[in-house]
A = this chain, B = another copy of it.
Amino acid sequence: MVSIKEVAEKAGVSLKTVSRVINNEPGVKESTRQLVLRSVAELGYLPHAGARDMRTRRSQIIGLITDEIATTPFAVNIIKGAQDLAWAHNKILLIANTDGDKQKEDVAIRLMLERRVEGIIYATWFHRAVEIPDSIRGQPLVLVDCYSDDDLFPSVVPDEVQGGRDATEVLIEKGHRRIGFINLTSGVPAAIGRLQGYREALGAHGIPFDPTLVLNNESGQTDGGYEQVYILMSQPNPPSALFCGNDRTAMGAYQALKELGFRIPQDVAVIGFDNQEVIAAYLRPSLSTMALPHYEMGQWAVQYLLEQNNEWRKQEKLKCPYIVRESA
């Protein structure tokens, strides 16, 4: 590492002058400033971030606490969105994976507070209520893909109602009137919001709501999707389209539809949710699905922390875009 002393020697000025230039302090002639900057560039001198932070009393660090995000391929874009915007503002992101383990979370929080992070992003891999640890309640805090029951902290989540409505609209516009909906685990915010959106879309087109067309895949896994398609398609008047609460459910639905001899999308159209690349892009036919705004939520959270005097927002809902592929 090149030291400030070497810069001073090369430029033929005092240490104090170099320090003034590096820290943008006044009292240095422009010609001297240029001379110092040239020496900095030529020697490849890098300022010491720790020293700068001690002086300015700002750590330039934003903490990001996640549960299972880093292992959830489609959710990891929260990290990417946050990192890209943080870097653009010369902030670094201190990422901690807790695996949903309280002890790991405590370690993560301690490490962040010892580093005097300027704010904390608390993110979960699926939209749910969380209990905010007392130790970070006094910090600038934004929740991503989750919210606190006491409504004391700003949060950014996907617009589940819009997602459910748009998916259903796509199928209605393709002429479908009997649309099966294999929803997520009962009671989670995504399941509640998307069912509302599904009903809104039906209502807007004068299609009566038929509760026998709606099932919950409680596990959210492939097997459940597979089993529920057998139930839905054995009805006397089976649906001609399926809206699946996630792409894993759609993966199971594909297997059941193929076994039952239905072609996708000619006999039964399918729309998933999540845009989980490894499934959606590689199923045959490729899966049309709703994407979750993970990248955008990560950016939103950093932006919120960067704005010191931003207006209080209890919850921001971001749009889930429709990703067109071959199954609908």
A residues with CB within 8 A of B = 1, 46-51, 53-54, 59, 70-73, 76-77, 79-80, 83, 87, 92-97, 99, 104, 107, 110-111, 113-116, 221-223, 226, 248, 251-252, 255, 258, 276, 278-279, 282, 284
User: Which of B72, B80, B94, B116 interacts with A97 by CB under 8 Å?
Assistant: B80
For the residues of A in contact with B, the DSSP-based class is helix
Of the listed residues A46, A93, A278, the one surrounded by the most CB atoms of chain B closer than 10 A to its CB is A278
Residues of B within 8 A of A282 (CB): 221-223, 248, 251-252
Which residue from chain B places its CB closest to the CB of A248 in the assembled complex?
A: B282
Copies in the complex: 2
**A258 to chain B: which residues have CB within 8 Å?**
258
**Could you list 11 examples of A-B contacts with CB < 8 Å?**
A46-B113, A46-B114, A49-B115, A54-B54, A70-B70, A92-B94, A221-B282, A223-B282, A226-B284, A252-B282, A258-B258
- From the candidates B47, B110, B252, B278, name the one contacting A278 in the complex (CB within 8 A): B278
| Complex CA–CA separation, A54 to B49 (angstroms) | 10
A116 pairs with B251, CB closer than 8 A: no
- A93 to chain B: which residues have CB within 8 Å? 95
Looking at the complex, which one of B76, B116, B222 makes contact with A70 (CB distance below 8 Å)? B76
For the A-B complex with A87-B104, A92-B94, A95-B95 known, give 12 more contacts whose Cβ atoms are closer than 8 Å.
A48-B116, A50-B116, A71-B73, A71-B76, A71-B80, A73-B73, A76-B76, A80-B97, A80-B99, A87-B107, A222-B284, A248-B278
Residues of B within 8 A of A278 (CB): 73, 248, 276, 278-279
A238 to B104, CA, bound (A): 51
Q: Are A115 and B70 within 8 A (Cβ)? A: no
- Contact indicator B46/A54 (Cβ below 8 Å): no
Report whether A115 and B92 are in contact in the complex, using a CB–CB cutoff of 8 Å.
Answer: yes
Q: How far is the CB of A228 from chain B (nearest CB, A)?
A: 15
Distance A94 CA – B278 CA, assembled complex (angstroms): 27
Minimum CB–CB distance for A274 against chain B, Å: 11
Q: Which residue of B lies closest to A226 (CB)?
A: B284
Please name the residue on chain B nearest to A108 by beta carbon.
B87
A116 x B73 contact (CB < 8 A)? no
Chain B contacts for A92, CB-based, 8 A: 94, 111, 115
A46 / chain B contacts, CB cutoff of 8 Å: 110, 113-114
Expressed in whole angstroms, the Cα–Cα distance for A226 and B285 within the complex equals: 13
**A90 vs chain B, min Cβ distance (A):** 8
